[in-house]
Amino acid sequence: MTLTPPAAGGARIDPLAPAHPGRWENGDVVVCHVDRAAVPVRLVSGRAPELVSEHFEVHRPGGRLLVLHRFRPDELDDDVATLVAGELGAVVESAPVFERVVTGIVRSTVGDPLTAWSTFYANSLAVLRHPERAAVPGAPPEASLAGFAPVHARALDEVAGTSVVDLGTCFGFLPLLMAERGLDVVATDHTPGTMRLLSAVVGTGIAPEAAGRLRTMACDARELPLRDDAVDTVTAIHLLEHLPAAESAAVVAEMRRVARRRLVVAVPFEDVPDPVYGHLCRFSPEVLTDLGERTGARFRVDTDHGGWLVVDM
């Protein structure tokens, strides 16, 4: 999930911006926390809700999207995004709106911004470290944190050497796990707000091992501000599906320039790219093979909770 793309009207997300307790808004999206009983059916401006689900109630007063919820702090983790996609798919039709709703849930559940996100990170990392406690058998990576844990595990095992650049890192769960393993990591994303959030959370001590081993960088994956052969491994884990298909080769070429030893790409295999998650293109083993051949280096392609391209220099 990316936190700060442009929205309608030019609004952008600052995940740490001040907000009223129990209420967060950005652009035309408003998210409010309600009493911890079941989400009630309310009348807003004299109208019944547009949608009521297990976790949410949706209204559109004055053309704005108002989402009511009742999450507890111990329920804040990245699986909130799965619930939003599953229950609100009919009204959350684009990645920018989806991202604002998820951000609003985190921010409206805990009053202090950094405490809210630290809670979100701590809960999410707990699931990723011990996915067996929350595993959903057969779930695809996008369906849950536990479903994505095998992708992180495979990415960690594919790293060659001790220094890594991770592209499109989003919340930065994978770089945090890399740092825990003793790797020196540069986490990159094209959105400065996401990288500021990750740096701030690392500063809270939520992952002590990361403090001296992880740094962040806001940059374009197609033009990295890094020298040739800067690190041992460059990873792009579920990044390329968020870009137009024509840009995949440019990103892989830039990865090859920066990596001394190995580049690792992981993508989902979908019949249709999911617009809620911001997916723009569809991958197959043949597409990954073509990308590998363009590098001119030795590579392998295989399937493991999606598709993998691993290129050795």
CATH code: domain of residue 305: 3.40.50.150
Residue 240 placed within a domain:
yes
Say what the pLDDT of residue 113 is: 96
Q: Are residues 65 and 194 in the same domain?
A: no
pLDDT at 137: 45
The answer to whether position 237 is within a domain reads yes
pLDDT for 3 equals 36
Residue 21 lies in a domain: yes
What DSSP letter does each residue of the chain carry, written as one string? --S----GGG----TT----TTEEEETTEEEEE--SSSPPP--BTTB--SEE-SSEEEE-GGG-EEEEE---GGG-STHHHHHHHHHSTTT--SHHHHHHHHHHHHHHHSSSHHHHHHHHHHHHHHHHH-GGGT--TT--GGG-HHHHHHHHHHHHHH--SSEEEEES-TT-HHHHHHHHTT-EEEEEES-HHHHHHHHHHHHTTSSGGGTTTEEEEE-BTTB-SS-TT-EEEEEEES-GGGS-GGGHHHHHHHHHHHEEEEEEEEE---SS--TTTT------HHHHHHHHHHHTSEEEEEESSSEEEEEE-
pLDDT at 94: 84
Per-residue pLDDT of the chain (313 residues; tens, 9 = 90+): 333 333 333 457 899 999 999 999 999 999 999 976 666 667 666 788 899 999 999 999 888 999 999 999 999 999 999 899 889 988 887 888 999 999 999 999 999 999 999 999 999 999 998 877 664 544 555 567 888 899 999 999 999 999 999 999 999 999 999 999 999 999 999 999 999 999 999 988 888 888 889 999 999 999 999 999 999 999 999 999 999 999 999 999 999 999 999 999 999 999 998 888 889 999 999 999 999 999 999 999 999 999 999 999 8
Are 244 and 188 within one domain? yes
pLDDT at residue 278, rounded to an integer:
85
pLDDT at 89: 85
Task: Give me the domain span that covers residue 172.
Answer: 141-312
Q: Is residue 2 part of a domain?
A: no
> In this predicted structure, what is the pLDDT of residue 146?
84
Residue-by-residue DSSP string for 176-232 = HHHHHTT-EEEEEES-HHHHHHHHHHHHTTSSGGGTTTEEEEE-BTTB-SS-TT-EE
Quick one: pLDDT at residue 43?
66
Is residue 286 domain-resident?
yes
Task: State the burial class of residue 51 (Cβ atoms within 10 Å of its Cβ: 0-12, 13-18, 19+).
Answer: middle
pLDDT at 2: 36
Same domain, 71 and 154: no
What pLDDT score was predicted for residue 129?
A: 87
Are 281 and 248 a contacting pair, CB within 8 Å? yes
Identify the bridge partners of residue 259 per DSSP, sorted by sequence position.
231
Q: In this structure, are 102 and 152 located in the same domain? A: no
Same domain, 177 and 76: no
Look at strands 231-237 and 163-167 and give their pairing: parallel
> Is 110 inside a domain boundary?
yes
- Report the number of distinct structural domains present in the chain: 2
73 occurs within a structural domain: yes
Same domain, yes or no: 250 and 184:
yes
Asked, for residue 122, whether it belongs to a domain, the answer is no
CA-to-CA separations, 13 to 8, 10, 26, 69, in angstroms, rounded: 12, 10, 7, 20
